[in-house]
């Protein structure tokens, strides 16, 4: 049994990181936050897969077979799925409406001007439009037929699009799906960066308020302790994000909510990569916030400035989902405080140019490399000072 | 005796307050040094500097004759004044973690943690969370945390405070074993001066950031150049001793007096006079206790 110490404490961050990782992996908070994220994500994906508003209707017809056929045909052209059900009389129609078996029933006769759409309470807008459109078509046909317009001309009028569409730019048929992915990424990234950042801060306060830090620092240096804590908690955050991403990609592709296997994999990779960068940037500031105060109750105040920055980044990034090419979105994707949220959005939407990505990477990595030693010094100067909140300037001076 | 831990001329100010004003202290291998002094005298500051959790403005800490560096310091065992353990961590996990931070390998740390808990008769609480232990038991874990990496030197700030008599005996025994079996130099601060007197080889007394006395108890006694006599005489004879030059009352005790004799005053004259007053039931030289020495030093 060797109790001889290694020559320095240089690798000691690994021991610290390992403790911070395992202790929190077994923490209820980790299980709960994972469960909540996965639940929200499942709902989000399932709504996209099977919800998305009533784009399918069941229409009852009493008589009126031809109108029913035309409503179905018109719906088909508009991407709406209309099922037509034949009903015997008005009584059967009302029963079907009350039982929710049909969304609406067409009664009466179009040519005699007695046609009506009967619904339970509010007519679904799209169904109303379809029925009105189909009825106009039916009535026109009758009129044209009576005026001896040739059958071929009537068919041509019914089947052709009289107006064609031309575009300046090629449309992205997946724009909608990609926006949904980008939106989900902003939500998850915000929760992950902020949640794990706060975990760093509370981990620091736990050691400070319990005074165990005095024993830790008699064995290793403050910077090793801070580095270990950030890396251990960051590794757990990355693991959780990996679980979430794997779950989301699988569920989205299985349910067909987002039918882009390759794109969803690259979106997951982008998210993981930017989480590492964003966490590396923010974590040391959270560690400093924790070191400046002595009790958990004081943490809320200490993290207000960081909280505001992360929150502002969140809003900028949400608006970047809508308009990824706006100046604000471009700036947000370059600033280190917001790039971890905004750049993945612009990358997933295909709006970021290679040089913008490169510049953004250079800025956040450069700033992180500059920030960590400064934060390490303030942390080292503040971590052993209990009592009232330590001022950053005093902490800076206290550390060599 | 080879030099173990040495504090050399440590100085430290906090703002305008001088906490340490040139403190030197030597703890040789295999010796136990008691560090005593009133609250605020600088004991904790000196110990924190020795452990490197506080920087000195000037002065040096040496270990075996060389300035202390990181690797040497990781061989120190420490109980800080305010204590400190992870409240929610289990006892054994905590000890293993602290051992590993002190450079002990994973397997060895596990074995040592178990071993130290066995030695403290605490193995059945290994899976308990620290916050669920009584204060006395937390104190035991604190001691285990200081010993788990088999330190080369022990620096203990008020290790006995909060311990019941049984806990005190356990700690005394542990310290004695560390010293006897491994020759570990130990310095601890305490206000329990009878205890210090009982188990320490040397005592260092600190006052207002300066060491005012340092030596064995006998040396300290000798350095207070005084002779005290306790005399009990039957009969009511207040002030019977006042006629002898160089004798004055130091203290009245039940059934008698403690007299302070100036140098060169003959005990036998006092005895003769006492016998002339009444029956002498008690006549002895008084060895001042550490408490008495301490009070004298503080008040002088």
Tell me the pLDDT tens digit for each residue of A359-390: 999 999 999 999 999 999 999 889 888 777 88
Interstrand relation of B202-207 and B32-36 (parallel, antiparallel or unpaired) = parallel
Cβ atoms B41, B17 nearer than 8 A: no
Q: Inter-chain contact A215–B55, Cβ cutoff 8 Å?
A: no
As a residue count, chain B comes to: 300
d(CA A250, CA A242): 12
Cα B184 to chain centroid, rounded: 15
Instruction: For chain A, state the CA radius of gyration.
Output: 31
Sheet strand arrangement including A56-61 = A81-86, A56-61, A104-107, A116-118
**Which of B 253-282 lie inside 8 A of A, CB atoms?**
none
Contacts of A129 (CB under 8 A, 6+ apart): none
A interface residues, B as partner, C-beta within 8 Å: 1-9, 12, 15-16, 19, 23, 206-207, 210-221, 384, 400
* Other beta carbons within 10 Å of B34: 24
Q: Is B129 exposed, middle or buried (0-12, 13-18, 19+ CB in 10 A)?
A: middle
Tens-digit pLDDT profile for residues B187-213: 999 999 889 989 999 999 999 999 988
Name the nearest CA neighbour of B87 among B133, B150, B126: B133
Q: Inter-chain contact A211–B89, Cβ cutoff 8 Å?
A: no
Q: Is A354 exposed, middle or buried (0-12, 13-18, 19+ CB in 10 A)?
A: exposed
All CATH 3.40.50.300 domain ranges in chain B, comma separated: 5-221
pLDDT reported for residue A8 = 64
Here the tokens at position B53 are 């959790």
Q: Under CATH, what is the fold of the domain B5-221?
A: Rossmann fold (3.40.50)
Query: Which residues of chain A carry a pLDDT beneath 70?
Result: 1-8, 51-55, 158-161, 171, 259-261, 400
Tens-digit pLDDT profile for residues B139-172: 889 999 999 999 999 999 999 988 888 889 989 9
In this structure, what are the phi and psi dihedrals at residue A66, rounded to the nearest 5 degrees?
Answer: -65, -40
d(CA B283, CA A56): 114
Q: Inter-chain contact A15–B97, Cβ cutoff 8 Å?
A: yes
Cβ atoms B70, B76 nearer than 8 A: no
Cβ atoms B42, B6 nearer than 8 A: no
Q: Under CATH, what is the fold of the domain B224-299?
A: Alpha-Beta Plaits (3.30.70)
All CATH 3.30.70.920 domain ranges in chain B, comma separated: 224-299
CB contacts of A206 in chain B (<8 Å) are 86-87
pLDDT reported for residue B297 = 78
Tens-digit pLDDT profile for residues A303-350: 999 999 999 999 999 999 988 999 999 999 999 999 999 999 999 998
Nearest residue of B to residue A222 by CA position?
A: B53
Looking at the partner chain, which of B48, B54, B108 has a beta carbon nearest the beta carbon of A3? B108
Sorted by where each starts, the structural domains of chain A and their CATH numbers stand as 12-49+175-398 (no CATH), 56-159 (3.40.190.10)
Q: Inter-chain contact B103–A23, Cβ cutoff 8 Å?
A: no
pLDDT reported for residue A2 = 39
d(CA B174, CA B150): 12
Helices (H), chain B: 43-51, 70-73, 91-101, 106-119, 135-147, 165-182, 193-199, 217-223, 267-277, 290-299
Here the tokens at position A38 are 């996965």
Name the maximum alpha-carbon separation found in chain B.
77
d(CA A321, CA A316): 9
d(CA A269, CA B279): 101
Q: Inter-chain contact A214–B145, Cβ cutoff 8 Å?
A: no
Concatenated DSSP letters for A144-192?
A: HHHTT--HHHHHHHHHS-SS----SS---TTHHHHHHHHHHHHHHHHHH
pLDDT reported for residue A52 = 54
pTM for the complete prediction?
A: 0.79
What is the rounded average pLDDT of the residues B163-186? 90
Q: Is the dihedral of CA B289, B291, B294, B296 positive or negative?
A: negative
Cα angle vertex A210, ends A205, A215, to 5°? 105
């Amino acid at each position: 049994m060797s109790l001889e110490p290694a020559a320095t404490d240089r690798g000691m961050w690994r021991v610290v990181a390992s403790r911070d990782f395992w202790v929190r992996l077994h923490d209820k908070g980790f299980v709960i936050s994972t469960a909540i994220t996965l639940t929200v994500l499942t709902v989000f994906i399932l709504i996209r897969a099977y919800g998305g508003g009533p784009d399918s209707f069941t229409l009852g017809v009493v008589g009126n077979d031809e109108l029913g056929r035309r409503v179905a045909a018109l719906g088909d052209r508009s991407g709406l799925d209309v099922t037509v059900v034949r009903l015997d009389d008005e009584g059967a129609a009302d029963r079907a409406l009350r039982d929710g078996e049909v969304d609406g029933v067409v009664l009466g006769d179009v040519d005699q001007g007695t046609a009506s759409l009967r619904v339970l309470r509010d007519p679904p807008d799209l169904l109303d439009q379809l029925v009105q459109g189909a009825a106009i078509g039916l009535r026109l046909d009758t009129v044209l037929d009576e005026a001896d317009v040739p059958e071929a001309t009537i068919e041509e009028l019914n089947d052709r699009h009289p107006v064609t569409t031309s575009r300046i730019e090629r449309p992205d048929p997946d724009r909608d799906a990609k926006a949904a992915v980008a939106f989900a990424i902003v939500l998850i990234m915000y929760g992950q960066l902020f949640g794990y950042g706060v975990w760093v801060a509370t981990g620091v306060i736990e050691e400070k308020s319990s005074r165990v830090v005095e024993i830790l620092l008699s064995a290793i240096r403050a910077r090793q302790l801070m580095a270990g804590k950030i890396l251990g908690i960051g590794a757990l955050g990355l693991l959780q994000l990996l679980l979430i991403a794997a779950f989301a990609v699988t569920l989205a592709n299985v349910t067909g909510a987002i039918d882009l296997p390759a794109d969803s994999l690259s979106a997951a990779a982008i998210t993981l990569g930017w989480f590492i960068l964003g966490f590396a940037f923010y974590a040391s500031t959270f560690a400093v916030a924790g070191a400046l105060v002595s009790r958990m109750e004081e943490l809320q105040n200490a993290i207000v400035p960081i909280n505001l920055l992360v929150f502002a980044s969140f809003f900028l990034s949400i608006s970047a989902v809508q308009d990824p090419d706006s100046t604000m979105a471009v700036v947000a994707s370059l600033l280190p405080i917001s790039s971890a949220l905004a750049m993945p959005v612009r990358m997933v939407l295909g709006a970021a140019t290679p040089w913008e990505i490169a510049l953004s990477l250079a800025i956040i990595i450069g700033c992180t490399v500059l920030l960590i030693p400064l934060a390490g010094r303030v942390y080292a100067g503040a971590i052993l000072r209990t009592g009232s909140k330590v001022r950053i300037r005093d902490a800076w001076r206290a550390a060599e | 005796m080879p030099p173990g831990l040495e504090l050399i001329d440590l100085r430290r100010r906090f703002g305008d307050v001088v906490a340490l004003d040139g403190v030197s202290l030597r703890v040789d291998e295999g010796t136990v040094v008691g560090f005593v002094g009133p609250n605020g005298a600088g004991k904790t500051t000196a110990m924190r500097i020795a452990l490197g959790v506080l920087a000195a403005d000037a002065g040096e800490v040496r270990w075996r004759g060389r300035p202390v560096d990181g690797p040497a310091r990781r061989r120190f065992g420490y109980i800080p004044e305010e204590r400190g353990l992870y409240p929610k961590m289990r006892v054994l996990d905590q000890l293993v973690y602290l051992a590993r931070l002190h450079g002990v390998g994973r397997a060895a740390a596990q074995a040592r943690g178990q071993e130290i808990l066995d030695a403290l008769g605490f193995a059945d609480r290994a899976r308990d969370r620290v916050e669920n232990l009584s204060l006395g038991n937390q104190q035991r874990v604190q001691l285990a945390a200081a010993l788990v990496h088999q330190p080369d030197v022990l620096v203990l700030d008020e290790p006995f405070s909060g311990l019941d008599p049984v806990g005190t005996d356990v700690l005394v025994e542990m310290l004695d074993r560390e010293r006897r079996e491994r020759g570990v130099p130990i310095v601890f601060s305490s206000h329990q001066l009878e205890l210090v007197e009982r188990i320490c080889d040397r005592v260092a007394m600190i006052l207002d950031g300066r060491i005012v006395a340092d030596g064995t108890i006998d040396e300290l006694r000798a350095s207070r150049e005084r002779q005290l006599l306790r005399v009990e005489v039957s009969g009511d004879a207040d002030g019977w001793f006042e006629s002898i030059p160089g004798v004055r009352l130091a203290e009245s005790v039940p059934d008698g007096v403690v007299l302070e004799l100036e140098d060169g005053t003959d005990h036998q004259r006092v005895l003769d006079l006492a016998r002339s007053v009444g029956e002498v039931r008690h006549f002895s030289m008084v060895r001042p206790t550490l408490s008495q020495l301490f009070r004298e030093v503080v008040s002088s």
